[in-house]
Structure 1
């Protein structure tokens, strides 16, 4: 999709498109998004924060004076805008604006879902901590299939309300969403960073989920968004309790985006990233920061959620996120792999994953003509949800 705003900053446009996409399930309003974006200067993280925060604060104050349904809608939109406000600030983890906007985001979302039927906050025991999320109970009596849904490199459990949770619930599924290690609530509240062996996370989530009432244990699917398009298949390769897995979008090797931009093959890049010193690689990463808004954000946010005192230390960790060594080939449950032709991050990766899966599988291709060609089809949530859930209906 051709950018409607921020033509010179693809990362700012993509994050704005996410907000526009959340309109489909009540997470934003078109006029609010456009009016907010008009006050932002491309590449300026402070102006981005200030504009989104101002819109969120206005809605937050107004919601307190509104009648229940109007307040619910206002809190949902304020939640989205608070989340946008702190998104680009993670290069300085000590920035007090991060926690303020994040906590307001969660507060607003939880105030909204208090008035939405059959949605409850949950805490999942995990390695002496808890993983926070939400359980969407399907309408009607009797056992139902269960969808377990998690986000990726930067998305939250709250975002998933607008990216599949509501869509699944209204189709008769129980839906459990959660933030795993490295994802917002786990980082903000417990300092838990990402780990590549995602089956360690999902196994504990399934222990909790399968103990919930009226869940059909033979009909449990896992959906992963963005980097979750690698993490969810990774879990499915090792977790036999899953009946299906969906990757939105499919991802085989997260580090390939860096390998393709740097003058070394993967093996050499891994060696250099893990070396005690490598001024040449450091210089390349510094130059990439200057040249690409997307790389600038990815390196800063990556250090925040994966650890690493330098860009190179983060890169060493990020290169561990892949499905090599026969992992993809271990996936035997039915798998749906989604593909976006204009993916800002992982073009070509869905096909690489699809080709290696040995079990039943389907590739779901979206197009620019459908307005669904962006990463995770964020501009076409209704379309994407319809196709994904129709496949799940057939499989489960």
Structure 2
């Protein structure tokens, strides 16, 4: 890494790179469920062509690619019952009509969540109506949560998370059978888990552990796996790990690079249950968990099948090079560059992106963001993100592995193939495409197709 000190001649060039260039790249890459930041400047980002190319015509809900990606995630969730097409498109129209901002986005989707948690029009709601209204509310609260740090009320982040969590729990309580809720030991802060079963018969079944990414919510794990598992006679485990959900927003526990220490207690808990077949436990990782889940499988040998969605070996590369150059081996030098050279000229929108992208890796960054401030310690969270590299452990994986890739992958381009090539275990690689309507990171418009691909492979691999 070359030095990044500014001098009489390097200052203007450097400043342009670290403010305008980095700001544009970050703004192009701020998307829920995605990697921390964007891999390239806005001109070269596939998602940047919001009006055509990879997201043409009706796939353009918002001109801004970050908001568009989030809107597509909500729209795609309709197939799993965790959104409603009419509700999402009505919200999109309202936001565009008011003028697209973080404030209008948060206000509109939060209001929609509140509306669904209230009594519906017409006759009193039965259990199924209440159940799926709560599930959709969880989705819309999650939409608002992603952009709340850039809104007029960033301090409401924890409250907004809790609203979404309450909606999720209300949905779960009305399921039949309701998922088993438990707290699995992990350090000093237990992991909340929701264990979904097709029935309460106690029959030993194949089980999938669904691992979320850097900023997804529990409702996303419903969309990307729970119904698909239940319909095939599988159990499904949803959980919050460090840097996610309750552990981040309430307990204030950030991401760890040693994800096997997270997964092993989950496997311990599952194998102690009579309704789990201990020889058929699969692990999936969505978005940044395409790095976390493979790391865990490299050390937790009871995992019988692994799916990386997409494969990711270096999350730090999800940031544009202009941002990565800020990090030097010296903490003081790094933070001086950040605070004296970058922050003063960082565009407000790019600053909001950095707040969101760094909060899962730094409690001080999260708390500062809730006060409308930008963090001052760049070195610590950046180093934590860089430590998530699994290039040295991928060859250790012995578990049969499916590596997914996506046409137009805007956060980890090229990394799924890198993972696949480095694997020494039985392996398969599959790229979902625009011709299938499954383009972009995690196929936001095609989660049903996504689940079909994943569970067909799991069924074949485990003979389930």
The TM-score, its normalising length taken from structure 2, stands at 0.78
Distance 1:15 1:287 in 2: 29
Match of 1:303 in 2: 358
Point out the structure with max Rg over C-alpha: 2
Aligned: 1:350 with 2:386: no
Distance 2:290 2:184 in 1: 22
CA offset digits 1:316-354 (Å, max 9, x no partner): 221111112x21110111011110121221111111111
Match of 1:113 in 2: 172
SS of 2:450's equivalent in the other structure is helix
Aligned: 1:271 with 2:338: no
* Deviates most, 158-167 or 172-181: 158-167
* Residue in structure 2 matching 1:82, options 141, 156, 161: 141
* 1:324-343 alignment runs, 5 A limit: 324=391, 326-343=392-409
Residues 1:333 and 1:284: Cα distance change in structure 2 (over 3 Å)? farther
Match of 1:124 in 2: 184
Match of 1:10 in 2: 65
Distance 1:7 1:296 in 2: 21
| 8 Å CA contact 2:327, 2:334 repeated in 1 | no
| 8 Å CA contact 1:126, 1:201 repeated in 2 | yes
Match of 2:110 in 1: 53
- Aligned-residue offset at 1:276: 3.8
* 1:67-106 alignment runs, 5 A limit: 67-90=126-149, 95-106=154-165
Distance 1:300 1:214 in 2: 42
SS of 1:89's equivalent in the other structure is helix
* Residue in structure 2 matching 1:363, options 429, 435, 444: 429
CA offset digits 1:344-370 (Å, max 9, x no partner): 211111111111111111011100011
SS of 2:176's equivalent in the other structure is coil
Distance 2:383 2:423 in 1: 26
Number of residue pairs matched by the alignment:
389
SS of 2:437's equivalent in the other structure is coil
- Aligned-residue offset at 1:275: 4.4
Aligned: 1:32 with 2:87: yes
Residues 1:94 and 1:210: Cα distance change in structure 2 (over 3 Å)? farther
Distance 1:126 1:225 in 2: 21
SS of 1:251's equivalent in the other structure is coil
Match of 2:304 in 1: 243
- Aligned-residue offset at 1:100: 2.4
How large is the Cα RMSD of the aligned pairs? 2.6
Residues 1:244 and 1:143: Cα distance change in structure 2 (over 3 Å)? same
Distance 2:323 2:155 in 1: 34
SS of 2:250's equivalent in the other structure is helix
SS of 2:319's equivalent in the other structure is helix
Distance 1:89 1:231 in 2: 26
| 8 Å CA contact 1:146, 1:215 repeated in 2 | yes
The TM-score, its normalising length taken from structure 1, stands at 0.90
- Aligned-residue offset at 1:66: 1.6
Which runs of 5 or more residues in structure 2 are unaligned? 1-53, 366-374
SS of 2:147's equivalent in the other structure is coil
* Residue in structure 1 matching 2:390, options 300, 311, 323: 323
